[in-house]
Amino acid sequence: MQLTDGAWMFDTEDIDSAIKKSEHNWYERDMLNAFTRYTYYRYKQIRDCVNSRKCKYMTVDEVREQLAIESKLSFTTELLSITADEVHYIVDYADEHLEYIK
């Protein structure tokens, strides 16, 4: 699956293989840094789409629970113009690799 953010085009297979390495070359390091920024930005958008109370932040598990509701998932995919697979990949990546996500 490919995700696009401006000039960057991220292939999820490349992301997954780069994460597993203990050392990265300059391109992999830049790609992972850019993808981490993109993931955080998109995760916040996803969280805001499924959160009815904007002043109350949700945990990743609460976001997943809300995304299990078909109407909220379809609203999110239509509003953000991304597929359901991309939504779930971003939420999973944020949960596993972003330390500042609850």
Q: Put residue 81 in one of left, alpha, beta given phi > 0 → left and psi -120 to 50 → alpha.
A: left
pLDDT for residue 73: 92
Please check whether residue 9 lies inside any domain of the structure. Answer: yes
Domain count, the chain: 1
Q: How far apart are CA 6 and CA 17, in angstroms?
A: 22
Please check whether residue 75 lies inside any domain of the structure. Answer: yes
Q: Which helix (H) or strand (E) holds 2?
A: strand 2-5
pLDDT for residue 53: 79
Please check whether residue 102 lies inside any domain of the structure. Answer: no
Q: How far apart are CA 50 and CA 73, in angstroms?
A: 8
**Total-model pTM:** 0.86
Domain that holds residue 11: 2-97
pLDDT for residue 32: 86
Q: How far apart are CA 31 and CA 7, in angstroms?
A: 11
pLDDT for residue 68: 93
Q: Which tokens in the block code for residue 51? A: 């959160």
Report the chain (102 residues): mean pLDDT per 10 consecutive residues.
76 82 82 88 91 80 92 92 91 86 70
